[in-house]
């Protein structure tokens, strides 16, 4: 694995991080953890149900906001977020959480016609155990209004010259921020700024992006070109062909994540399978993709080759999957320590 990235190169990348300015665009959300102590729950007199006595709550960046948090954890000097939030308590909480992490929120658009995406995770606590109850999600049932699409595109266009790279978080299946109109605007900006890295994570529309680095997982990549095929039936050679085809279409490298098998990196007509970094169970995959794309973007922007960037992203994801019950992030020290575990 480390034949693509030495410890010295890793240190060089991290030394350049403080000078980088990276924007995160798209579906930002709030993760809310509500801890209910069920040892204090008593049967309701009004209904035959036991209430959830919430005794503690915690809020962290979610969805694309967690990508921004991961960029700051890597030491990126300036991280700016662009999205539309609702004029609600969750939007205010998300702005506060991001500001506390020194993430620039001045360009956020606030609208009373939008609901801030929020994932509330009730954590039920017993005497010696804890488990997560069914999640409560705040979602939007209407698409983003045209006026808000245009305002968002205008804001990004105004400030893109100030950035070294942009991460596109197209994470919602329906009624997300990255609409067709917004995507067209981003494709145009990427074409007009070939010196900047635009890196995109899109669950359903990865093949529609141009002049951007793509980061689908293997299921998303397979569905992009063969929506009628079971992705589990794809051979390694077929997946490689998909990666190269997507790379030709977008004119940039493509990184197909393969879970515990690492990543398939395709660039300039060639490809390499980069093995995953070692991990130590128990594992929690939540947030690993955010750590991967943050490290990938940081490495590419700092001058790493695609193979080096894929290697660093693997290391970051390996650190994050070991952080249980949280949408974690990987620091430079943690990544360097993980790299030391890999034999040369």
pLDDT digits (tens, 9 = 90+) for 205-257: 999 999 999 999 999 999 999 999 999 999 999 999 999 999 999 999 999 99
Q: Which domain holds residue 180?
A: 2-30+62-116+141-340
pLDDT of 1 above 80: no
CA 87, 93, 99, 101: dihedral to nearest 10 degrees? Answer: -150
* Side-chain half-sphere exposure of 296, counting CA atoms within 13 A: 34
Q: How confident is the model at residue 278 (pLDDT cuts 50, 70, 90)?
A: confident
Residue 204 lies in a domain: yes
Instruction: Phi first, then psi: give them for residue 201, nearest 5 degrees.
Output: -120, 115
Residue 281 lies in a domain: yes
Q: What is the mean pLDDT of the chain?
A: 95
SS3 34: strand
CATH number, position 183: 3.40.1190.20
pLDDT of 121 above 70: yes
pLDDT in the model for residue 89: 98
Residue 320 lies in a domain: yes
Cβ partners under 8 Å of residue 296, min gap 6:
199, 213, 215, 255, 309, 310, 312, 313
Residue 75 lies in a domain: yes
pLDDT in the model for residue 342: 79
Residue 104 lies in a domain: yes
Chain centre to alpha carbon of residue 66: 6
Residue 202 lies in a domain: yes
pLDDT of 285 above 80: no
Residue reference for tokens 């006026």: 147
Residue 255 lies in a domain: yes
* Side-chain half-sphere exposure of 19, counting CA atoms within 13 A: 9
State the Cα–Cα distance between residues 254 and 213, nearest whole angstrom: 6
Q: How confident is the model at residue 4 (pLDDT cuts 50, 70, 90)?
A: low
pLDDT in the model for residue 104: 98
pLDDT of 109 above 80: yes
Question: How many domains does the chain fold into?
Answer: 1
Residue 134 lies in a domain: no
Which two structure tokens, joined as six digits, stand for 16? 């350049």
């Amino acid at each position: 694995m480390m034949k693509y990235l030495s410890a010295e190169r890793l240190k060089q990348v991290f030394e350049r991080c403080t000078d980088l300015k990276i924007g995160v665009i798209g579906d930002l959300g709030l993760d809310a953890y509500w801890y209910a102590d069920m040892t204090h729950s008593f049967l309701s007199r009004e209904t035959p149900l036991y209430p959830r006595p919430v005794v503690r709550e915690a809020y962290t960046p979610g969805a694309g906001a967690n990508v921004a948090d991961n960029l700051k954890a890597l030491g990126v000097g300036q991280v700016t977020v662009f999205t539309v939030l609702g004029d609600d308590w969750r939007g205010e909480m998300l702005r506060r959480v991001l500001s506390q992490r020194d993430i620039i929120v001045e360009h956020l658009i606030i609208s009373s016609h939008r609901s801030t995406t929020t994932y509330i995770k009730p954590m039920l606590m017993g005497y010696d155990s804890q488990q997560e109850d069914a999640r409560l999600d705040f979602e939007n049932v209407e698409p983003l209004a045209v006026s808000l699409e245009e305002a968002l595109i205008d804001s990004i266009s105004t400030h893109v010259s100030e950035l070294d790279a942009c991460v596109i978080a197209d994470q919602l299946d329906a009624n997300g921020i990255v609409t067709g109109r917004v995507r067209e605007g981003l494709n145009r900006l990427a074409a007009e700024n070939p010196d900047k890295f635009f890196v995109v994570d899109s669950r359903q529309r990865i093949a529609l992006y141009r002049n951007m680095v793509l980061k689908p997982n293997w299921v998303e990549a397979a569905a992009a070109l063969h929506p009628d095929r079971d992705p589990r039936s794809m051979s390694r050679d077929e997946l490689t062909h998909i990666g190269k085809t997507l790379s030709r279409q977008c004119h940039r490298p493509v990184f197909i994540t393969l879970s515990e098998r690492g990543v398939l990196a395709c660039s300039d007509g060639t490809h390499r399978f980069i093995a995953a970094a070692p991990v130590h169970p128990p594992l929690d995959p939540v947030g690993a993709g955010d750590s991967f794309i943050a490290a990938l973007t940081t490495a590419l922007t700092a001058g790493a080759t695609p193979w080096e960037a894929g290697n660093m992203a693997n290391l970051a994801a390996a650190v994050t999957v070991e952080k249980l019950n949280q949408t974690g992030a990987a620091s430079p020290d943690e990544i360097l320590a993980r790299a030391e575990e890999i034999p040369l």
